A and B are shown apart, each in its own frame.
Chain A
Amino acid sequence: MLVLVLLLIMSAVSSAQTLDRVRERGRLICGANNALLGFGYVDSDGNWSGFDVDFCRAIAAAVLGDANAVEFVALSAAARQPALQTGEVDVLIRNTTATLIRETDWTANFVPTTFYDGQGFMTRKEYGIETLEDLAGATICVTKGTTTELNLADVLRARGIPFTPIVQEDANTVYDSYEQGRCDAVTSDKSQLAGMRALFANPDDHVILEPTISKEPLGPAVRHGDDQWFDIVSWVVNAVFYAEEVGITSENIDTYTTDNPEIQRFLGLQGDLGEKLGLDNQWVYRIIKQVGNYGEIWDRNLAQLGIPRGLNAQWTDGGLIYARPFR
């Protein structure tokens, strides 16, 4: 029995290279969230869908040539770290905030952020509020004992904006109070605000303000110790970003022509960028053709929830989505 266990451990440890293991297996194992509005869920036909899920598919398209060659493993928040550390999943894409402690204690590496979440505000459209300053004098509902509550006080006081907080124990109560009009605005992470708004009787009467007052950079993470795999996952994300920046979509990629050498390298018409990653030069074509660019992924999953692009706009539009150069 002991010998058997030792053998199992040795066989598992000896195959260290994630890329080889994924290829040998013929599918990517992606740690995901199975119940987060817009980010990870199973659609009515039994397909995994969502914003985070699409990035799993993009990696599979690049590495294996098939966006459907993914085995999704639904992880609870607590199970994320062991699942990644022990190699149960090849990549973790489950609304996970990149922080120093997670990179060190979790022995995880975070690739470029795919979704800049952060604390925001929701108010009624009829008030015509647009900026934080417009919130002066408002009553604001917030959940008790969260970083959200602290951020609210810190940021608005620092800016000298007077407000009355209504602090409640439970998130559901907070949104109920807001919907019943007991407060003028409610504050939480923007993705949560959008999700909760979708549950309101008249979602269109409410608007999520553009300003963001805290930092929750969410992105894919891989294990320490496999730089090649880290590079691949990073550049898949960059490729999705860059395709949107230059206007290449799943619709137009077959007819897209350009004289720009960087875009030609990007699409594998020139050079050997894909081979340098250990893939082939068609990798970007497959990602964009099968999954789409960043804007397409956004529109498919988050646009219908009414989440504003905000910080997640391209850098050319004043956002933080900034692909590194393909050269």
Chain B
Amino acid sequence: MAATAPAPRAAVRVRPKDPWPRRTVDWLVKNLFSSWFNTLLTLVSLWVIYFTVTRVWRWATETAVWAVIPANFQLFLVGVYPRDQLWRFHVILGVFAVLTALSVAAALNRDFGRKAMRWLVTPWLLFLPGSMFLLWGLPGSETLPHVQTSSWGGLTLTLVLAAVGIAGSLPIGILLALGRRSSLPVISVFSTFFIETVRGTPLVAIIFMAHLMVPIFLPGVTIDRVIRAMIGLTLFTSAYMAENVRGGLQSIPKGQYEAAQALGMSPALTMILVILPQALRSVLPSIVGQFISLFKDTSLVAIIGLMDLLGIARSITANPAWAGLQAETFLFIAIIYWIFCFALSYGSRRLERMLGLERPS
């Protein structure tokens, strides 16, 4: 026993840290210059990055005329909404800010968070119809005059279209998904037919149909153009939503149904209390993905003449005072779209973590 000498200490001891230049060089050699081919790739990539960045930087700082953005900021936000009625927009914005702040606070606080969340559900559900009503006004009223939807525009219209699409497509999508799995042939055939027809048609075509065909089929009846676009967007997204939800439904093992049945639950209760909550949780990422894509798809209404964020940008570049500033204008709205999409995706990741969906990877 005594012959077995203890392992030499030096082997266990941590190697002294290299000075940082050495570490950096090691890292560079290992990751970027490990072979002649990788070296070549690195150099070419560096050159491309340098070339692009300097070009863009020079354009952004020297050539670009950024004055077009502040001068038209209000247009980007609200379009041609009557300027003396802008307080309504400010009220909506204020309520939204307060609700968001409360929700974030509730989400961050572990003690009373859950309870507070429950209290916040009702205001959030009322927020969209309330905002729509405020924007719309009361026909014939002096203090809150009706504002035609043709005057709705800018980011506001984009958000209204997206919010209505999201709020409408989720329930319709769930119903369609359940309908497709229904044992009643009429319902399941109708749901399948609807889903497959819509999924087989480009969104542009659907928006054009809603825009052009409705007036031709219903002569003399004028359905509001914004509402037509909302219906088109909502139905389109519903079909995709239905397939997302169906994916979730399929992931629920049969045992869950049987267990619920054994507890004496009716099929409807089983669906509402047991199956759907789990199904929706499991497909939350793809549902949010659908919302993000809907948000960007709203820009297609610009081609039927609605003045959403993209439509108003096109209009601004048709103003002789700002002619030729397409690049600046479209870059700006691209950034706005990105901010909202990123916020949606960040929010959904937080939500997933709260619901315990995130798996360590």
Contacts and interface: CB of A to CB of B under 8 A. Distances in A.
Contacts of B306: 74
Interface string A39-55: 11111111111100000
Contacts of A46: 74-75, 78-83
Nearest to B70: A44
A42 B148 contact: no
Interface string B200-233: 0000000010011001101111100100000000
A9 B153 CA distance: 29
Nearest to A32: B305
Contacts of B323: 37, 195, 198-199, 305
A48 B81 CA distance: 11
A156 to B, nearest CB: 30
B307 interface: yes
A101 interface: no
Given A45-B83, A74-B311, A88 B215 contact: yes
B150 interface: yes
A45 B84 CA distance: 12
Interface stretch (B88-96, B130-138, B248-256, B312-320): B312-320
A78 B319 CA distance: 23
Interface in A64-103: 71-76, 78-79, 82-83, 85-88
A3 interface: no
A222 B35 CA distance: 73
B218 A82 contact: no
Given A71-B150, A74-B311, A78-B212, A88 B222 contact: yes
B324 A198 contact: yes
Contacts of B225: 73
B150 A73 contact: yes
A41 B272 CA distance: 50
A198 B82 CA distance: 30
Contacts of B321: 43-44
B220 A71 contact: no
B324 A87 contact: no
B315 A304 contact: no
Q: Which of A5, A8, A43, A72 has the most CB of B within 10 A?
A: A43
Contacts of B312: 42
A82 B216 contact: yes
Contact of A42 (B79, B216, B220): B79
B319 A82 contact: no
Interface in B22-68: none
A34 B305 contact: yes
A37 B221 CA distance: 32
A13 interface: yes
Contacts of A36: 318
Output the residue of A8, A44, A88 with the most chain B CB within 10 A.
Answer: A44
Given A37-B318, A44-B75, A76 B80 contact: no
A200 B319 CA distance: 15
A41 to B, nearest CB: 4
Contacts of A73: 150, 225, 305
A12 interface: yes
B221 A74 contact: no
A297 to B, nearest CB: 14
Contacts of A79: 211-212, 304-305
Nearest to B317: A35
A43 B307 contact: no
B303 interface: yes
A220 interface: no
A301 interface: yes
Given A8-B220, A46-B74, A199 B215 contact: no
A301 B320 CA distance: 8
Given A44-B75, A71-B148, A86 B318 contact: no
B316 A41 contact: yes
A38 interface: yes
A34 B314 contact: yes
A305 B323 CA distance: 9
A101 B212 CA distance: 20
Contacts of A44: 71-72, 74-75, 316, 319, 321
A87 B222 contact: yes
Contacts of A13: 220
Contacts of A86: 215-216, 219-220, 222
Nearest to A35: B314
Contact of A34 (B151, B212, B221, B307): B307
A34 B305 CA distance: 7
B220 A9 contact: yes
A33 to B, nearest CB: 8
Contacts of B303: 76
B2 to A, nearest CB: 89
Contacts of A9: 218-221
Interface in A139-169: none
- Shortest beta-carbon contacts, A-B, top 3: A12-B220, A74-B305, A41-B318
24 contacts: A34-B307, A34-B314, A37-B318, A37-B320, A38-B318, A38-B320, A39-B318, A41-B318, A42-B307, A42-B316, A43-B321, A44-B75, A44-B321, A46-B82, A48-B80, A72-B150, A73-B225, A73-B305, A74-B150, A76-B211, A85-B215, A198-B320, A199-B324, A200-B324
Given A5-B218, A301-B320, 16 more contacts: A5-B221, A41-B319, A42-B80, A42-B316, A46-B78, A46-B79, A46-B82, A49-B319, A71-B150, A72-B80, A73-B150, A86-B220, A87-B222, A198-B323, A199-B323, A200-B324
Interface of B: 71-72, 74-75, 78-83, 148, 150-151, 153, 208, 211-212, 215-216, 218-222, 225, 303-307, 311-312, 314-321, 323-324, 326
